């Protein structure tokens, strides 16, 4: 019985030996950026400035997560020129979008589509 179960584990071990290096070389986890929509402005998690410049590195992968903390107001987050957009969020909802930053340094605009005049800022790829 013991020997038999040992033999059964051989294919499992072989599969692990083949798979583990593949997992290790899988694409890096995206960098996390947290944004909050509050009182009709965007805020970065660690920052108190409204609608701050969002600084990204060329070619990096980013997971941007938006939380809507405004009562009774819908918000989203978009970078139109990069085709980046979260879902439209109700109060207390959260949504993420993962994207790859272009490799060239450039500036883009971000905005909340329902409030593109008040809730907008710059994305700096540098």
Q: How near is the Cβ of 115 to Cu ion at its closest, in Å?
A: 4
Closest Cα to residue 78, out of 67, 93, 90, 88?
88
Name the residue nearer to Cu ion (CB basis): 86 or 101.
86
Is there a contact between 119 and 109 (Cβ–Cβ < 8 Å)?
no
Cβ-proximal residue to Cu ion, closest one: 112
Name the residue nearer to Cu ion (CB basis): 57 or 80.
80
Assigned token pair, 56: 């990204």
Ramachandran region of residue 9, left (φ > 0), alpha (ψ -120 to 50) or beta?
alpha
Assigned token pair, 109: 């605009």
Name the residue nearer to Cu ion (CB basis): 41 or 56.
41
Name the residue nearer to Cu ion (CB basis): 68 or 125.
68
Q: Using CB under 5 A, list all residues that contact Cu ion.
A: 75, 112, 114-115, 119
Q: How near is the Cβ of 111 to Cu ion at its closest, in Å?
A: 8
Give the DSSP H or E segment for 24.
helix 2-24
Q: How near is the Cβ of 88 to Cu ion at its closest, in Å?
A: 9
Q: How near is the Cβ of 59 to Cu ion at its closest, in Å?
A: 29
C-alpha 40/C-alpha 120 separation (Å) is 10
């Amino acid at each position: 019985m013991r020997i038999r179960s040992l033999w059964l584990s051989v294919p499992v071990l072989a599969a692990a030996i083949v798979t583990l290096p593949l997992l290790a070389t899988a694409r890096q986890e995206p960098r996390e950026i947290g944004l909050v929509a509050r009182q009709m402005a965007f805020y970065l998690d660690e920052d108190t400035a409204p609608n701050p410049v969002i600084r990204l590195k060329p070619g990096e992968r980013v997971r941007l997560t938006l939380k809507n903390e405004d009562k009774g107001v819908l918000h989203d987050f978009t970078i139109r020129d990069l085709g980046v957009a979260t879902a439209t969020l109700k109060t207390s909802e959260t949504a993420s979008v993962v994207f790859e930053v272009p490799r060239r340094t450039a500036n883009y605009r971000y905005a909340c589509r329902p409030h593109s005049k008040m809730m907008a800022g710059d994305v700096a790829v540098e």
